Amino acid sequence: MCGRYVSVSSPTILAERFHVEEVRAKPADPNYNVTPRAEVPVVADSRGRRVLDVVRWGLVPSWAKDQSIGDRMINARAERIQTSNAFKRAFERRRCIVPADGFYEWQPIEGRKQKQPWFIRRRDCEPLAFAGLWEIWHDRSLGDDAPRIRSCTIITTEPNEVMRPIHDRMPVILPESAWDTWLDAENRNVESLARLLVPLPSEELELWPVTTLVNKPAENGPELLERAPVDSQ
């Protein structure tokens, strides 16, 4: 899964990196410990224009009774995305890229109660392009004038070789060659889109162990990315 990540690149950097034509909302301050329910930047298509916007992490399907379901929808498994009632419509119509400067994953260590956190990023230090889905939800009990809430989820897949010793899942990281296809809102060929949901080659990633301070959502700073010995507590 992907339950925490890093989002520190400026809107200017993200707009340039992802060839954005319109910045609709300024992303929040640099966040070294992005947690579910956070407002996060996403890149999506809007009537043929590539836009950078901010949405809530934790997808809330349009049919949901309340927002709380989003807490269980921060990730979508690639293998089930075409059959899940929560994700299949968004997969067909509302795909996005969730930019990230890296992500955390936790490795079980024999003889220890606490898992060891690792930080993973691209070797070239460019922002990652997580494959994501987005949705719009409103509280129907409040009528049509209720505020619209935009939310997203990050798609996960099986791990590549570098990730396999740490966890049995990893986020889908799209290569630049796949961005146009993924973001094309007119593309409804779900079979070909599903073929994009594969692990990024191991040689494109680097990782190192970090302090267990990242376990605390309140901790948020560049010190979370500092290398730490695997046996640190």
Which residues are known catalytic residues?
Answer: 2, 105
Q: Could you tell me if 12 and 20 are in contact, meaning their C-beta atoms sit under 8 angstroms apart?
A: no
Q: Please give the single-letter amino acid code of residue 81.
A: I
- The b-or-e profile of 202-233 (16+ CB within 10 A means b, else e) is eebbebebbbbbbeeeeebeeebbeebeeeee
